Amino acid sequence: MTARIAGIGAALPPAHRQGDLWDEVFRWHFSRSRVAQRIFTASEVRSRHTATAPSELRTVANWSTGDRMRRYGEAAPPLALEAARAALDAAVTDPAETGLLIVASCTGYGTPGLDIALADGLPLAPDSRRLFVGHTGCHAALPALATAADYVAAHGRPALVLCIELTSLHVQPASHDPEQMVTHALFGDAAAAVVLRPDTAPGLRVVDVAARTDTTRSDHMTWDITDLGFRMGLAPEVPDALESQVGPLVKDLLSRNGMDLSDVAAWAVHPGGPRILDAVEDGLGLPPEALATSRTVLAEHGNCSSPTVLLVLDSLLHAGAATGPTVALAFGPGLTLYAALLDPA
């Protein structure tokens, strides 16, 4: 028995134009820096969703980590429930059928956490298993998907994966650090959920999942807890590192399943930023149109960390583009790359 993706759902807080966020918040945050303005323009992000209103974004940098976690506890459960219910509806699955719930988030913590809020709000059956995946970063959706698929294959019960990030709660104190300018130009908030059912259901089958970690570059992408929220470190060498690693990862995944790059019908690539997508294109030798959906998601939503690859996959499915073997890719601290091979057959 294998698992299939039977439904995907998303929930997004209010959207704001990138230009408005610059004018109302970050122009002043970065002291009208021309470098910051160029970085915001080059981000290729047109709009982003934030659970924190622009009027509050101007003050978040001064909030303590405790204040940010309290706001996460208020804002995250409604979004998580909305995304989970949408995915369950799309999969025509009753919450009580769900045998496993996996919640992935790196932007907020508390106990009892989101898994308990979902178990109560959906509601799940009392015997449903729960697993929380924390502080894993942008690639968390794919190891969560792999774990859920293994559970479905072993137990024959549906599983629900929920990824939610409220990155707007982690605006950092003003600085002249270009890494912080890039981070604040890219990231947005979102929740996305996916339901997996046994192979008898329609949908993309989870064929195989592969990982590749380059520990020699573990300092290239960091997510540190400070007294003023979580601070991201994003080295400029990350795209080059990904370009060198993505080819071996994907080619090994495909070859061990009797395929090569020419067999892939669609690519669901986490849009970490325009340079990340360029690196994937170059590392795999893909034509520009292969990652068009990822670029559209980046433009419309920004980089939402762990939910983003699910937003890309959902867009591909709605467009009818995932008609054959599909590869999902996401990247995170470690330096870690994950790839999932999906197939409607």
Q: What is the DSSP string of 6-46?
A: EEEEEE---EEEHHHHIIIIIHHHTTT-HHHHHHHHHT---
272 pLDDT above the threshold of 90: yes
The mean per-residue pLDDT over the stretch 307-320 comes to 97
Matching CATH topology for 3-198 and 204-343? yes
Question: What is the pLDDT, as a whole number, of residue 276?
Answer: 97
Question: What is the pLDDT, as a whole number, of residue 36?
Answer: 96
Question: What is the pLDDT, as a whole number, of residue 307?
Answer: 98
The domain limits of the chain are 3-198, 204-343
296 pLDDT above the threshold of 80: yes
The mean per-residue pLDDT over the stretch 201-222 comes to 94
Please state, in angstroms and as integers, the Cα–Cα distance from residue 341 to each residue in 77, 129, 224, 310, 323, following that order: 30, 25, 31, 14, 13
First to last CA, the chain: 14
Residues carrying an active site annotation: 138
- CA 243/CA 234 separation, integer angstroms: 16
C-alpha 10: how far from chain center: 11
202 pLDDT above the threshold of 90: no
* Contact predicate 138/272, CB 8 Å: yes
Give the chain's mean pLDDT: 96
Q: Going by CATH, does the domain composed of 3-198 fall within 3.40.47.10?
A: yes
- The one-character DSSP state at 303 is B
The mean per-residue pLDDT over the stretch 327-342 comes to 97
201 pLDDT above the threshold of 80: no
CATH ID of 204-343, from 3.90.1150.10, 3.60.15.10, 3.40.47.10, 3.40.50.10440: 3.40.47.10
Question: What is the pLDDT, as a whole number, of residue 1?
Answer: 81
Judged by DSSP in three states, 81 sits in: helix
Question: What is the pLDDT, as a whole number, of residue 116?
Answer: 97
Judged by DSSP in three states, 228 sits in: coil
pLDDT in tens, 174-186: 999 999 999 999 9
- CA 135/CA 237 separation, integer angstroms: 22
Exposure b/e, 157-170, CB count within 10 A at least 16 = b: bbbbbbbbbbbbbb
Distinct helix (H) and strand (E) counts, the chain: 12, 13
pLDDT above 70: percentage of residues in the chain: 100
- pTM of the entire predicted model: 0.97
Question: What is the pLDDT, as a whole number, of residue 28?
Answer: 93
* Contact predicate 167/24, CB 8 Å: no
Structure tokens at 334: 């470690």
The mean per-residue pLDDT over the stretch 201-213 comes to 94
3-state helix, strand, coil in the chain (%, to 5): 45, 25, 30
CA torsion sign, 37 to 23 to 164 to 297? negative
| Virtual torsion, Cα 200, 204, 210, 212, nearest 10 deg | -150
CB atoms within 10 A of CB 345: 7
Residues with Cβ within 8 Å of residue 111, at least 6 apart in sequence? none
114 pLDDT above the threshold of 90: yes
pLDDT band at 200 (very low <50, low <70, confident <90, very high): confident
291 pLDDT above the threshold of 90: yes
pLDDT band at 199 (very low <50, low <70, confident <90, very high): confident
Strand partners, 9: 193
CB atoms within 10 A of CB 46: 15
91 pLDDT above the threshold of 80: yes
Exposure b/e, 186-205, CB count within 10 A at least 16 = b: bbbbbbbbbbbbbeebebbb
Residue 141's closest CA among 279, 266, 8?
8
Residue 46's closest CA among 5, 17, 68, 25?
17
Beta strand pairing status for 159-166 and 100-105?
Answer: parallel
pLDDT band at 322 (very low <50, low <70, confident <90, very high): very high
